[in-house]
Amino acid sequence: MEQIALNTVIAVMLAIFPGFLFRKCYYSGEFTKQFNQSNEFDKLLWNVFFSGVSMAITLLSIYVFKEFLGLTVLDSLNYDKVRNLTSTVSKNELPDRKVLNETYRDLIIIVGLIYFFSCFFGLMFHWLVRSLKLDVQFRILRFKNYWFYYFHGGKILYSNPSRRKFAFTKVDVLCEVAGETKLYSGILSQYTINESDNNLENIFLTDARKLKKVVNSERTTEVVHNAIPGAAFCIPYKNVVNMNLVYFYRDNELSIARYLIFINVLSSLAITFIIVSVFWFDLSDFGVIGLWKKIFYVIMGFVGIANLRLLIYDKNRKKLAWIPQLLLFISALLWFLYSSDIVSMWIVIISFIISIGASAFITPAGNNISNGDPVENEDPDDVII
């Protein structure tokens, strides 16, 4: 049992747990309940797959540090020692004490790096999907919590032509309680969904009000808003007959300007570093030798940084204009790999040809009258569910 337990622990640590961390970080925030919304076999396959990806990235990073940057990392591990360790464990035996004393520190570092990359790439992919709105554009990347999209701007329900930032959602809820119909209104502050099927369970309103029709002294009917005291008003979804969602937006020009200034400063510093590095650093270890190589080094650095800047902040990225920018950024990276004799020149040439072709066929969408005029600030959009 002890021998079987040892193999089991190692298998879980290296083949399952890294994928578990990746999925846990990817399904974060509003989508945490999706982490368990699949059968055990599917979860096991995804865990093993992402564990393999994390291990491959870790080993590739170590290889780059050793072979191309000339840094001494994990020097206690070599092919013979790794082969000895894996062979011993596969026979359900404990490794030799001497070998284990020499390598345990580096083994801990490798396992820690695998876990780190699992968490890092899980969070990074989550950020990319949400920040680039890839889940809105592509159904395959859409999270199962569809109420999130309905309650946060409703972009999967209709196309909003304005460039304003979503602020909050006002909800008008028609409920039926004990055979009596009641209407409530308020600002949506939180909601809960069922863990198994993502069905809505409760909604919480702040600044909640009860709407009621009354006949005034002039014999006309008017709607009276009665404020409901309390921090938040909870409505079980089982009592809801209908809902009207009203989306409010705010102008984000100031935040965009500050963000753009920050991106421009970083881009300027990066370009300055590339230019200065030609004169101050020895770039021969990276294959940058001679005048023409140094000129191309500066040009490709500028191309890569410029397109990365556009990729991070581009008003047309929802119109697929980010594809040529991504391809040009990758082409610039491939040139640096070519200068280090990692890829051939033909790969770089083909990559730039594809990038130029994509730039010709995928053009940014400009201001089109047919798209409609931008909605004025604080002008809400209504969606009935």
Helix ranges (DSSP H) in 242-344: 253-280, 291-312, 322-339
What is the average pLDDT across 330-337?
A: 82
Q: Is 379 left (phi over 0), alpha (psi -120 to 50) or beta?
A: beta
- CATH number, domain 147-250, options 2.40.100.20, 2.30.30.100, 3.20.20.70, 3.40.50.300: 2.30.30.100
Question: What is the chain's mean pLDDT, rounded?
Answer: 76
The string of pLDDT tens digits covering residues 218-232 is 767 777 788 888 888
Cα separation, 93 vs 328, whole angstroms: 51
Residue 316 has pLDDT above 60, yes or no: no
Cα separation, 238 vs 59, whole angstroms: 52
Cα separation, 58 vs 117, whole angstroms: 7
Residue 382 has pLDDT above 70, yes or no: no
β-strands 180-193, 221-227: how paired?
unpaired
Q: What is the pTM of this model?
A: 0.58
Spell out the domain ranges in the chain: 2-131, 147-250, 253-361
What is the pLDDT confidence band of residue 68, given thresholds at 50, 70 and 90? low
Residue 250 has pLDDT above 70, yes or no: yes
Q: Are 143 and 44 in contact (CB under 8 A)?
A: no
Residue that the structure tokens 């931008």 belong to: 374
Per-residue buried b or exposed e for 312-347, using 16+ beta carbons within 10 Å of the residue's own CB: bebeebbeebbbbbbbbbebbbbbbbbbeeebeeee
Dihedral sign for Cα 138, 139, 145, 150, please.
Answer: positive
What is the pLDDT confidence band of residue 1, given thresholds at 50, 70 and 90? very low
Strand, helix or coil for residue 12? helix
Per-residue buried b or exposed e for 348-364, using 16+ beta carbons within 10 Å of the residue's own CB: beebbeebeebeeebee
The string of pLDDT tens digits covering residues 136-151 is 888 888 888 888 888 8
165, 366, 378: which is closest to 254 by C-alpha?
A: 165
